[in-house]
Chain A
Amino acid sequence: MALINNFVLVKFLGLCPFFGVSKKLSNALSMGLAVTFVMVAASAVIWPIYNYILVNLHAEYLSTVVYILVIATLVQILELVIMRTNYALYSAFGIYLALITTNCAVLGVTLVNTSEGYNFIESVLSALGGGIGFALVLVIMSGIRERLDNVRVPKSMKGLPVAFMVAALLGLAFSGFAGMV
């Protein structure tokens, strides 16, 4: 899951932070960890909600609305809990924790879990794998972009366009993992 169906490079989820936060290595690592954490927590909370409440009420069509509310609430609670219990971790996550609500990788993984009909363990594992894959690519990308700052790039390619080129090459490398399992 982390390598073969990589969330960023194969499924195009979580691209905004991928291009926005990948300028510095340390930020990328914090963001990657925070996203993995929220993805696992959201999958664990949403699985019983979907299977025991929504299915019983025949209200599956409400899943999008319910999921986004659960994720937003969860992110708020996590932020409070981490701030009270582990301040070092809280300052390491920084603003990225709040930004995760609108990260499509989180909503994406819960939607995939539902549409694939995963059981509880599978849901949590797919979230964990997806999160690790996301963090991995974010860290690789930020390492490359830190180097890119010192390279002379044609004027019109500077910044975002060249980041897309790098992503294309990374995507090509990751498509080599396809079909391994």
Chain B
Amino acid sequence: MVSWLKEFGKGLVVSNPIFVMALGLCPSLAVTNSLDNAIGMGAAVIFVLLCSNILVSILRTWVAGIVRIPTFIVIIATFVTIISLIFQAYVPALYESLGIYLPLIVVNCIILGRAEAFASKNRLSLAVADALGMGSGFLLAICIIATLRETLGTGKLTIFGNTLFSLPVLSEQPISLFLLPAGAFLVIGLLLALFRRVGLIKND
């Protein structure tokens, strides 16, 4: 139980995939212009990460070393196809707005990285904990970025059609820079610097 919690906490804070390891940056910048997209992307990544970690961990003794990476990629691509079809059927609006970034989960370095570095070497229960920790860490990080970008870029925060709050001045004159790609780089850079300043993550 202790090791389970340790693996879970590791991904969430200590080695957060985005803020500490700088993995999986493409989706974290591309889909964080709204909180809805970020939650959808986070959920999809958790699903794929969990399924692929489980399967890789079960198969770890049977897969020969040299065909390891291609096998992992096919496993990941299969689960990505499954989640794409699920999204297309049940949440078509989200499917449309995520666009090509949904199939691009295949090449998200977090998932292949965890399969190779962790799941292929550890037993099932730890692999599940690792997937949930890393996945939640990813979800948390992109939600923080999306919340900041959506609030500053539109002056209000909406979640699946419900407005959470609307800032008086900002909603009339939003800083649309934050919805542009440049805003994404700016927010993530400032967050990284802030986390280092307060000592949440260590300097490299």
Residue numbers of A with Cβ under 8 A of B are 9-16, 19, 61-65, 68-69, 72, 101-104, 107-108, 111-112, 115, 154-165, 167-169, 171-172, 175
Contacts and interface: CB of A to CB of B under 8 A. Distances in A.
A161 B74 contact: no
A61 B81 contact: yes
Task: Report the 9 A-B pairs with minimum CB-CB distance, sorted nearest first.
Answer: A164-B189, A168-B185, A171-B182, A12-B30, A161-B193, A156-B196, A156-B197, A15-B25, A172-B182
B31 to A, nearest CB: 9
Interface residues of B, number: 43
B92 interface: no
Interface in B5-26: 22-23, 25-26
20 contacts: A12-B27, A12-B30, A12-B184, A64-B81, A65-B77, A65-B78, A68-B73, A68-B74, A69-B70, A72-B73, A102-B112, A107-B106, A107-B107, A108-B100, A112-B100, A115-B100, A155-B196, A161-B196, A167-B185, A175-B182
Given A161-B193, A164-B186, A168-B182, A61 B85 contact: yes
A16 B104 CA distance: 13
B30 A64 contact: no
A63 B99 CA distance: 14
Contacts of B58: none
A64 B106 contact: yes
A76 to B, nearest CB: 9
A29 to B, nearest CB: 22
Given A64-B80, A104-B26, A175-B182, 14 more contacts: A12-B29, A16-B25, A64-B81, A65-B77, A65-B78, A69-B73, A108-B100, A155-B196, A157-B193, A158-B203, A164-B189, A167-B189, A171-B184, A175-B180
Interface of B: 22-23, 25-27, 29-30, 70, 73-74, 77-78, 80-81, 84-85, 99-100, 103-104, 106-109, 112, 177, 180-186, 188-190, 192-194, 196-197, 203-204
B26 A168 contact: no
Contact of B186 (A154, A158, A165): A165
B97 to A, nearest CB: 14
A68 B74 CA distance: 8
Given A16-B23, A156-B197, A158-B203, A164 B74 contact: no
A160 B22 contact: yes
Given A65-B78, A159-B204, A19 B107 contact: no
Contacts of B100: 108, 111-112, 115
Chain A CB within 10 Å — which of B99, B177, B182 has the most? Answer: B182
Contacts of A101: 73
Given A16-B26, A72-B73, A175-B181, A64 B85 contact: no
A71 to B, nearest CB: 9
Contacts of B204: 159-160
Contacts of B74: 65, 68-69
Contacts of A103: 107
B204 to A, nearest CB: 6
A156 B182 contact: no
Contact of A165 (B25, B73, B189): B189
A62 B180 contact: no
Given A107-B107, A161-B190, A162-B189, A169 B30 contact: no
A165 B26 CA distance: 16
A11 B30 contact: yes
Contacts of B190: 161
